[in-house]
Structure 1
Amino acid sequence: MAVTLTPDEQAMLDGRHGPGTAMAMRVVVGLARVRGAERLVEIGSAHIDGCLYHGQVGLDFAERLRDLGARVTVPTTLNVGSLDLLHPGLVRGDTPEERETRDNGRALMDAYVALGARPTWTCAPYQLDARPGLGEHVAWAESNAIAFCNSVLGARTDRYGDFLDICAAVTGRAPLAGLHTDAARLGDVLVDCTRVPEHVLRLDLTMPLLGYLVGSLVGTRNPVLLGLPANVGEDGLKAFGAAAASSGGVAMFHVVGVTPEAPDVDSAFGPNGPTAQVTITSDDLGRARRELTTAARSRLDVVSVGTPHASVDEIASLATLLMDGPPIDPHVDFYVSTGRSVLAEAKRLGHVRTLEESGIRIVVDTCTYVTSVLRPDARVAMTNSGKWAHYAPGNLGIDVVIASLAECVESARAGKVLVDDDLLR
C-alpha cells in the first residue's frame, strides 16, 4: 500500500535531513506499508526497548544510526539495559557469555545515549516526571509500558519493539495504524469480575494473577474488566497489564469506571459490543496461582520484587513490612528492582535506609530475570510479579512461587516458602 508523506517526511526519506534520519524513515515507512497505514502520525515521545543486549545485530543497528548522525527528535526514554550502572558488581561476568553481555551491553547502552535519549533505564517510564496525556500519539515499546500507556494514561501507541522504536524517535513519526486509531482501541472481550469477593479484589496478589489469567484467555484482544474497585490504583493496573501482556499479548485494556476510555461498558465497547464474555471467580485466581507456581520444595533461595519497576508506594509498603519482625534469613537473597528516579525519591523519604538495613539489595537499570544477577546455585525464587513468574523459569532455569508482598517478606525471614492457601477465598 502506498503511504502518503508530507513534504517534510519525504525530505527525511530522501536524505535531506541526513543519512541517519533517512535510514530511520525507511524503517518507519516500511512498517507503515506492512501495517496498511495510509499516512504517518507525529508522535510526542518515545520509549526504547532495544537497550538490552541480545546479540551483535542490536548493537550494530544502534551504532549504525549513531555513526550516520541520527539523533532523536522527540523526548525519548530508555528501557532497562544489561547492566546496573550504579552497582556495577551486581551483574555477574564470570563466563565468556556473561562477559560478552557485560561489554557489549554497556556499548549498546552508550549508543542509545549518544543518539540523544534520556538515560532513564526503566521499564516503567510512566513513573517519570513527564507522561503523555490523553489522546497523545507516542511510540512506546516494552510490553507493560505499552499496556499502561494505552490503558491507564489513554495515550496512543501501537506495539513497537526493537529498531522500530528508535526509528520513530529519530523521525518523530509512526504509522497511523493499530492502536493509534479509534477502532482498534475498542474493547473485544467482557471480563466479569463481580463474582470475586471485594476483599480478594483488594489483595495486592490479585491483580498480577488476574492479569495472567486474562491474558491467557484473550490473547491479543482488548479485555474490558467489570467489577474492579474504583480505587484500584496505578500499581494494581501496572501489575495487571504487565502480566496480561506476558501471558497473552494485551496492549490495551479497559477497567470500567477507572480507565479514561471506559467510563461505562458501552463506551468501552463502542457500537459493536463484546465478541465474547468470561466470568472470573476466586477459584480461577487460585488456579492461576498454581499454574504460575512451579516450585515443589519448601526451601527458598531468592526473593525478587519490582517487575515492572517498583514504585515509591510499593517500596514504602515493603519498608513498612520490614520494620517489625525478625531479620531476613542470611541464606535468602532479596532483591528490589526499581528506576533511578524512584530510588532517589525513596531515599529522600527514608525508605531505602530501611531496606538496606534489612539486607535488601536494590537493583536499578536492569531486571533480575533478564541478566545474570541471581547466584548460580539458586533454585527456588519467590516474587509478587506475574511477569517475573511467567518468564523467570524459562530465562533462568529456576522454580518460582508467586505470592503477596507480605508472604514474600515472611518467607524470606523464615528461609522457606510460606504461603496462605486460603488467601484468595
Structure 2
Amino acid sequence: MLRGDSGPGVAMAMRMVVALAGVLGAERLMPVTGAHIDSCLYHGQAGLDFAEKLASLGARVAVPTTLNSSSLDLMHPGLVRLPPEDAVPARALMDAYRALGARPTWTCAPYQSAERPAFGENVAWAESNAIVFANSVLGARTERYGDFIDICAAITGRVPHAGLHLDEHRLPTLELDCSALSTAMLGEEAVWAALGDVVGRLSGSGVPLLTGIDPASVDEDRLKALGATAASSGGVALFHVAGVTPEALTPGPGWAALPSTPVTSAMLRAARDELSTVADPSAPLDAVALGTPHFSVREFEKLAAALAGTRPFHPGCTVWINTSREVLAQAREAGLVQAAEERGARIVADTCTYITPILAPEERTVMTPSGKWAWYAPMNIGVDVVFGTLAECLASARAGRVVRDDSQWN
C-alpha cells in the first residue's frame, strides 16, 4: 500500500498511518475491523480539501465505516443557520465522505447501532465519547484517533500496534472509590455525568477503576454519560467499573496496590455547580438541550414516561433533542417521540446543538443534563448553561425558569 500498489489514494493514507506509527514508536501496524470518522464535521477548507483529495485519488474505505455528527441536519433543512459560504462546503464535506464509502450515519454514538464492535475487536474510532464507550463499555480496542488519521485508518484498514490496542496499556492506573455514593443518587443519569466530570479531573489521561458501585444501578446510558464527560473534563479514553465493565468483572492483579481516592456526593454537587455558568438559581430559562451524546431509544422511553400526564412546555422555553436518524426512526416507530413533540420539543438529527448554530439568537440560557453539552456549549456557541437532572430540566421547561430539586443530589 505504501508503494502505491493499491492506488495513490491508499498510498497517501498509508503515509499518514506510518508517520503516526513512528510518532508512537510502534514497530508494526495491525489490522482493524471498523472505523468511525470525526473529520466529517466542517471546520474549514483544509478538511474539505483533504477528503476530496483522497476521493479524487480513488481511495475507498477498506472496513465498515460510520460517520460522526456533521455540520448540517439533512432531515430538517434550514434548521442549522449557516451562511451559504459555510453551508455549501459543509454539505460538500459530507458528500466527500460518502464518496469514500462511509455509511451516512451522522451520529456521535455509533455504539447505539445494531452493528457495533464486539469484545476484543480492534477498531479505529474518533470522537471522544465514542472512543471511551468502545473501550470501556464494549471492551473493543481503539486509540484516541483524531481528524484525518481516522479516515486514513479506514482506507488502509491498519493502525499502529500501540496504545490502547495493547493489553499493558489497558490496566487501571488509579482507583476511585465510589462506595460513599448512594444508589438513589446514582439513579440519575446527570449524576453519572457529574461523576464523569470528577473522574476526568482526577484521572487526566490515566485509566481509572471505579469501585463501590452496585452493578444494579448501572446501564449503558449512565456509562455513556460518565464516559462522555470524563473524556471532556480530562483525557479519559478507557475506564473500568468493578464488577460491571467487561475487563473488570473480577479483581485483577495489582488492583489492591492502586493509589485510591474517595469520591463523595459533595464532589458531585461541586461538579454540578462547576458545570453551570448561571449564578441565579431561579433564572429565566430559554431552552433545554437533551441528547449529547445522541439520545438513545431507551432515553426516549424514559422521556416519554416522565412526560406522561404533564402539561406542555412553557412557550418561552424550547426543548431540543439531539439524536441519530437511526434511533429516531426506531423511537418514532415505537411511539416514543410524539409525547415530547406534542409538548413543544424539537428534534435535531445528523448534528448537535452545541456545535452548530441551531438555537435562536434569543436563546441564551440553556439547561441540560449532559455534562458534555455543559462543558463545550459556553465556548462553542456563547450561551449560559445550567446543569441538572432530566427531572429538573423538564420541570424547568414547563415553568420557563430554572427549577432545582436538591434532593436528587444527595
Alignment-mate amino acid for residue 147 of structure 1:
V
> Where does structure 1 lack aligned partners over 5 or more consecutive residues?
1-11
Distance in 2, Cα, partners of 1:215 & 1:83: 30
Q: Secondary structure at the match of 2:321?
A: strand
Which residue, out of 272, 275, 278, partners 2:261? Answer: 278
Q: Secondary structure at the match of 1:287?
A: helix
TM-score by length of structure 2 reads 0.97
Aligned to 1:44: 33
Deviations 1:118-149 (A, max 9, x none): 00000000001211111111000000000000
Equivalent residues of 1:43, 1:136 under 8 A apart = yes
Residue 318 of structure 1, CA deviation: 1.0
Aligned to 1:222: 207
Distance in 2, Cα, partners of 1:201 & 1:117: 37
Q: Does 1:64 align with 2:53?
A: yes
**Structure 2 counterparts to residues 251-266 of structure 1, below 5 A:** 251-265=237-251
Alignment-mate amino acid for residue 64 of structure 2:
P
Identity of aligned pairs, percent? 58
Which residue, out of 187, 209, 213, partners 2:198? Answer: 213
Q: Secondary structure at the match of 2:215?
A: coil
Q: Secondary structure at the match of 2:49?
A: helix
**Structure 2 counterparts to residues 22-37 of structure 1, below 5 A:** 22-37=11-26
Deviates more, 1:112-121 or 1:311-320: 311-320
Distance in 1, Cα, partners of 2:116 & 2:359: 32
Aligned to 2:397: 412
Residue 199 of structure 1, CA deviation: 1.2
Distance in 1, Cα, partners of 2:264 & 2:37: 37
Q: Does 1:351 align with 2:336?
A: yes
Change (3 A) 1:272 1:281: closer
Deviations 1:19-43 (A, max 9, x none): 0000000000000010011111100
Equivalent residues of 2:311, 2:343 under 8 A apart = no
Deviations 1:61-97 (A, max 9, x none): 000000000000100000000000000111013xxxx
Alignment-mate amino acid for residue 50 of structure 2:
F
Equivalent residues of 1:187, 1:274 under 8 A apart = no
Aligned to 1:304: 289
Q: Secondary structure at the match of 1:13?
A: coil
Which residue, out of 219, 224, 230, partners 1:244? Answer: 230
Q: Does 1:76 align with 2:56?
A: no
Q: Does 1:328 align with 2:317?
A: no
Residue 320 of structure 1, CA deviation: 1.7
Equivalent residues of 2:312, 2:342 under 8 A apart = no
Distance in 1, Cα, partners of 2:166 & 2:15: 22
Aligned to 1:289: 272
Equivalent residues of 1:190, 1:274 under 8 A apart = no
Deviates more, 1:380-389 or 1:353-362: 353-362
Q: Secondary structure at the match of 1:422?
A: helix
Residue 271 of structure 1, CA deviation: 4.1
Q: How many residues align?
A: 407
Distance in 1, Cα, partners of 2:255 & 2:266: 31
Q: Does 1:234 align with 2:227?
A: no
Alignment-mate amino acid for residue 280 of structure 1:
V
Q: Secondary structure at the match of 1:305?
A: strand
Q: Does 1:110 align with 2:95?
A: yes
How well do the aligned residues superpose, as a CA RMSD in angstroms? 1.1
Aligned to 1:5: none
Alignment-mate amino acid for residue 242 of structure 1:
A
Residue 189 of structure 1, CA deviation: 1.0
> Where does structure 2 lack aligned partners over 5 or more consecutive residues?
none
**Structure 2 counterparts to residues 341-380 of structure 1, below 5 A:** 341-380=326-365
Q: Secondary structure at the match of 2:120?
A: coil
Distance in 2, Cα, partners of 1:25 & 1:131: 25
**Structure 2 counterparts to residues 164-203 of structure 1, below 5 A:** 164-203=149-188
Residue 202 of structure 1, CA deviation: 2.0
